[in-house]
């Protein structure tokens, strides 16, 4: 019996290791479908075309899904949303941003889940713990979206919050690093160590506040611990 249990444990370990390696490969393969357009704006292609917090877009495009984290002007920009909207575009946002938008707008609060086609979307909390800019009661969100079987965590404007301990099996995490309104680079690195994504991508720098130095510090803090990708703005 003891030998049987040891064999079972060994098989389980091998299976878990293989699953983890496959998960990492899937997350890495998805990088080619992720485009950083500055600040917190990402275009994710593949199963559907997804945009996060479109702001100061350099050109028009077409989106299947637009995810907006909260009502601040550099995240909820009706002008930029219109550049992406088509007759079938679904816009997902918070109640505070929704009145300024038109079209197929769906509102969410932390804890809500929904599916748009084959894209699974979870709204998760995003707020400040030691600042006044994003109070928890305002209901700002981040999103965990599943694309091609990979869970992507788009943090929105947030500090390192306790809820991050509950985020599991994250393939790629998009984390703000500029400080002042959101996490500093060092705080974001601590958040990444807690979330343990396969890949971490810094955001929220280079436009209104923060520079590439914040992203580089984030990368340095996680060297040898979590893989970091600094994307070039497109």
> Please, what is the average pLDDT of the chain?
91
pLDDT of residue 24: 54
Question: What is the band of 25 on the pLDDT scale with cuts at 50, 70, 90?
Answer: low
Checking if the pLDDT of 55 tops 60, the result is yes
pLDDT of residue 195: 98
Checking if the pLDDT of 221 tops 60, the result is yes
Question: What is the band of 80 on the pLDDT scale with cuts at 50, 70, 90?
Answer: very high
Checking if the pLDDT of 60 tops 90, the result is yes
- For 9-21, what is the mean pLDDT? 38
| Residue 204 per-residue DSSP state | S
Strands 227-228 and 199-203: parallel
Which residues, in sequence order, are CB contacts of 224 under 8 Å at separation 6+?
none
Q: What is the pTM of this model?
A: 0.89
Helices (H), the chain: 2-30, 78-82, 185-195, 212-221
CA distances from 75 to 44, 68, 111, 181, 204 (A): 17, 6, 20, 13, 11
In which residue are the tokens 């929220």 written? Answer: 204
Q: What is the pLDDT of residues 92-142, one digit of tens each?
A: 999 999 999 999 999 999 999 999 999 999 999 999 999 999 999 999 999
For the CA atoms of 58, 125, 140, 65, the dihedral, rounded to the nearest 10 degrees, stands at: 40
Q: What whole-number percentage of the chain has pLDDT above 70?
A: 89
Question: What is the band of 46 on the pLDDT scale with cuts at 50, 70, 90?
Answer: confident
Please say whether the beta carbons of 98 and 105 come within 8 A: yes
Which residues on adjacent β-strands are paired with residue 147?
Answer: 150
């Amino acid at each position: 019996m003891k030998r049987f249990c040891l064999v079972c444990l060994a098989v389980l370990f091998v299976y878990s290791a293989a699953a983890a390696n496959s998960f990492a490969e899937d997350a890495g393969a998805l990088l080619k479908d992720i485009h950083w357009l500055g600040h917190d704006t990402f275009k994710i292609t593949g199963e559907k075309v997804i945009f996060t917090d479109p702001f100061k877009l350099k050109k028009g495009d077409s989106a299947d899904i637009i995810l907006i984290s909260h009502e601040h002007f550099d995240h909820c920009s009706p002008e930029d949303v219109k550049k992406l909207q088509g007759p079938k575009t679904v816009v997902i946002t918070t109640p505070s941003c929704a009145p300024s938008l038109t079209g197929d707008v769906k509102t969410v609060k932390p804890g809500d889940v929904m599916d748009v086609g084959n894209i699974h979307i979870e709204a998760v909390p995003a707020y400040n713990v030691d600042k006044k800019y994003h109070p928890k009661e305002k209901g700002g969100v981040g999103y965990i979206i599943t694309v091609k079987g990979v869970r992507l965590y788009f943090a929105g404007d947030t500090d390192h919050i306790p809820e991050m301990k509950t985020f599991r099996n994250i393939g790629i995490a998009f984390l703000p690093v500029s400080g002042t309104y959101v996490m500093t680079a060092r705080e974001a690195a601590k958040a990444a160590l807690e979330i343990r994504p396969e890949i971490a991508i810094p955001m929220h720098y280079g436009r209104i506040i923060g520079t590439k130095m914040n992203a580089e510090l984030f990368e340095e803090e996680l060297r040898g611990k979590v893989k970091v990708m600094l994307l070039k703005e497109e």
